[in-house]
Chain A
Amino acid sequence: MKTLRTASLPLLAALFAAGCGHAPKAGETAAAFDAPLDITGSFAPRGQAGMDRLDQDETQRICSEYEGKPVPPELVTTIMEAANAGIRFPADGNYLGDWKNGEKIAKTGTGLQSNDDPNVPNGGNCYACHQMAAEEIAYGTIAPSLGLYGKLRGNSEPILKYTWTRLWNSHAYNACSHMPRFGEKKILDEQQLKDVMAYLFDPQSPVNLEAPGKN
């Protein structure tokens, strides 16, 4: 971890040093306050959340820099290519698991937080951002509704692959997506991803039984 931290320091430094140009007033020693901020000094390891969590990969670095702004085309390409290169489709060619377990995963918001038990499987927290089944009213609205997902799209091979890819690494379709990279970052394992897929596609899943209200 230590080497990771040391290695990442110039990166952090660069981020925080760039473009902070306040003209100092006469007599003020502004130089001391222009030094780049080492953000690692503001954190300490807590529970399962070690200091390596502060290190950024290339995708995170680019997306931080261009948050709320258009990402330059060549960087979009960089991110999408990296995303596509990392996708792993299920080895047995079967995309759909148990929708009931998928429902649990979609509703569970815990996992990987400093106060979470690392021995409990991570949730997917889909409802934080998405509307899904009509019966669940506690859904977020920062992402598009997934109501009737499978019913509206069918379950052809291309649709299954598209959705798996979205879950694995959403940046493959939308560079700097706000959706977590569930497969790439090992938030969910292959079986959990299959279960969530079943929640989206199974005709028996509450996602596909009833159209949810407008959000």
Chain B
Amino acid sequence: MNQSIPKTFVLGLALALAPVSASFAQSGNDVFAEYREMFGDDNPAELAEMQGEEIWRAVRGPKQASLEQCDLGLGPGVMQGAYAQLPRWFEDAGQVMDLEMRLLWCMEKQQGLDVSALRAHPFSEQGQQQTDLEALSAYIAAQSRGATVAVPQEHPAERRAFENGKRFFNYRAGPHDFSCATCHTHDGKRIRLQDMPRLNTVEGAKGSFPTWPAYRLSQGAVRTLEWRMNDCMRQQRLPGLQHGSDVAIGLITYLGVQANGAVMDSPGLKR
């Protein structure tokens, strides 16, 4: 990332785009490409990354600990490449966890923080500051830039998560009969103006998974894959998908395993 561009400039761009954002809904992907060009290598997600780094290093909670000893799967404190290998099985927790679940676990167990509020409201509302989870996700994902996606399928629970995701992908329900497959099994097709990746294929998943978390221009915020799952479920007319639930982890594992071998490039920049 080009460090020579002052952060205030990036912030200025982000703010300048805010009023423009509404029109993205009605404009073509080429217009979006223009904005992407304008940003070049710079992504307003950098602000969230800095916020995340502060939270990662801060000594907090009754146990007066920082998150720096949090084991993201590659050993305590190892961040490089960790995101590219999540979700995975964590023996200490007895669960398959994605990054967000793992962070909550470390906050709770290692810092002694009460995370119930964060768990209930993991995503920032329009115009609010990023939540700790979003900021940390941006920071930690950035430490996997260039790493090869390698979501493990060693433990039976990891394979089970993949299977759950694969099955749920085709699960039609709700008044509109939508499943993920309704919108995400076509090649080169669009919903309104948005290109739809074909997410039940290796190629489609490889194009999508490595770009998350992403800074969304239309919302002026970094969004995570948990958020993406949640919002697609809303469009599917289903009730609220619970953060870190079996279905959420299943779908993210399904996408991640299909994307194995791709190169991480997140936080991405999206419409």
Interface residues of A, Cβ cutoff 8 Å to B = 15-16, 20, 22, 24-25, 28, 30, 33-34, 37, 39, 41-46, 49-51, 53-56, 59-60, 63-65, 67-68, 109, 112-115, 127-129, 137-142, 178, 180-181, 185-187
Q: Which residues of A contact B25 (CB under 8 A)?
A: 138
Report yes or no: B241 in contact with A42, Cβ–Cβ below 8 A.
Answer: yes
Contacts A28-B156, A140-B192 aside, 14 further interface pairs with beta carbons under 8 A come to A22-B156, A25-B156, A37-B250, A41-B245, A43-B245, A44-B239, A49-B237, A49-B239, A54-B174, A60-B173, A112-B174, A113-B237, A114-B239, A137-B193
Q: Separation in Å of the B189 CB from the closest CB of chain A?
A: 5
For the complex, what is the distance from the CA of A67 to the CA of B196, rounded to whole Å?
Answer: 17
Report yes or no: A39 in contact with B247, Cβ–Cβ below 8 A.
Answer: yes
Report yes or no: A49 in contact with B240, Cβ–Cβ below 8 A.
Answer: yes
Report yes or no: B237 in contact with A39, Cβ–Cβ below 8 A.
Answer: no
Closest to A127 in B: B192
For the complex, what is the distance from the CA of A46 to the CA of B173, rounded to whole Å?
Answer: 16
Q: Which one, B159, B192, B237, B246, contacts A128 given CB within 8 A?
A: B192
Knowing A53-B173, A68-B200, the reply to whether A138 touches B238 (Cβ < 8 A) is no
Q: Which residues of A contact B239 (CB under 8 A)?
A: 43-46, 49-51, 53-54, 114
Knowing A53-B173, A187-B175, the reply to whether A43 touches B240 (Cβ < 8 A) is yes
Q: Which one, B185, B234, B242, B248, contacts A115 given CB within 8 A?
A: B234
- Contact of B179 with A by CB under 8 A: yes
Q: Which residues of A contact B178 (CB under 8 A)?
A: 180
Report yes or no: B186 in contact with A53, Cβ–Cβ below 8 A.
Answer: no
Of A45, A55, A114, A115, most buried by chain B (CB within 10 Å of CB) is A114
Q: Separation in Å of the A62 CB from the closest CB of chain B?
A: 9
Q: Separation in Å of the A140 CB from the closest CB of chain B?
A: 5
Q: Which residues of B contact A28 (CB under 8 A)?
A: 155-156
For the complex, what is the distance from the CA of A181 to the CA of B193, rounded to whole Å?
Answer: 23
For the complex, what is the distance from the CA of A138 to the CA of B193, rounded to whole Å?
Answer: 5
Q: How many residues of B contact A (CB 8 A)?
A: 48
For the complex, what is the distance from the CA of A149 to the CA of B214, rounded to whole Å?
Answer: 40
For the complex, what is the distance from the CA of A137 to the CA of B30, rounded to whole Å?
Answer: 13
Report yes or no: A42 in contact with B173, Cβ–Cβ below 8 A.
Answer: no
Knowing A45-B240, A187-B176, the reply to whether A129 touches B164 (Cβ < 8 A) is no
- Contact of B172 with A by CB under 8 A: yes
Knowing A22-B159, A37-B246, the reply to whether A68 touches B185 (Cβ < 8 A) is yes
- Contact of B170 with A by CB under 8 A: yes
Report yes or no: B179 in contact with A53, Cβ–Cβ below 8 A.
Answer: no
A interface majority secondary structure: loop
Q: Can you give 13 contacting A-B residue pairs, CB < 8 Å?
A: A16-B164, A20-B160, A22-B160, A33-B157, A41-B242, A42-B245, A60-B173, A67-B170, A112-B237, A141-B189, A142-B186, A142-B191, A187-B175
Q: Which residues of A contact B170 (CB under 8 A)?
A: 64-65, 67-68
Interface residues of B, Cβ cutoff 8 Å to A = 25-26, 28, 155-157, 159-160, 163-164, 167-168, 170-179, 181-183, 185-186, 189-193, 196, 200, 233-235, 237-242, 245-248, 250
Report yes or no: A33 in contact with B171, Cβ–Cβ below 8 A.
Answer: no
For the complex, what is the distance from the CA of A30 to the CA of B157, rounded to whole Å?
Answer: 8
Report yes or no: B246 in contact with A178, Cβ–Cβ below 8 A.
Answer: no
Of B25, B181, B237, B250, most buried by chain A (CB within 10 Å of CB) is B237
Knowing A22-B156, A60-B172, A178-B182, the reply to whether A140 touches B240 (Cβ < 8 A) is no
Q: Separation in Å of the A196 CB from the closest CB of chain B?
A: 15
Q: Which residues of B contact A138 (CB under 8 A)?
A: 25-26, 192-193
**Closest 4 pairs (CB-CB, A-B):** A46-B240, A42-B245, A42-B247, A67-B170
For the complex, what is the distance from the CA of A44 to the CA of B155, rounded to whole Å?
Answer: 28
Q: Which one, B183, B190, B237, contacts A53 given CB within 8 A?
A: B237
For the complex, what is the distance from the CA of A113 to the CA of B164, rounded to whole Å?
Answer: 24
Knowing A68-B181, A140-B189, the reply to whether A42 touches B242 (Cβ < 8 A) is yes
Q: Separation in Å of the A20 CB from the closest CB of chain B?
A: 5
Report yes or no: B192 in contact with A20, Cβ–Cβ below 8 A.
Answer: no
Q: Which residues of A contact B234 (CB under 8 A)?
A: 113-115
Q: Separation in Å of the A56 CB from the closest CB of chain B?
A: 6
Closest to B96 in A: A33
Q: Which residues of B contact A142 (CB under 8 A)?
A: 183, 186, 189-191, 196
Q: Which one, A24, A44, A112, A129, contacts B242 given CB within 8 A?
A: A44
Report yes or no: A67 in contact with B191, Cβ–Cβ below 8 A.
Answer: no
Q: Separation in Å of the B206 CB from the closest CB of chain A?
A: 19
Report yes or no: B173 in contact with A67, Cβ–Cβ below 8 A.
Answer: no
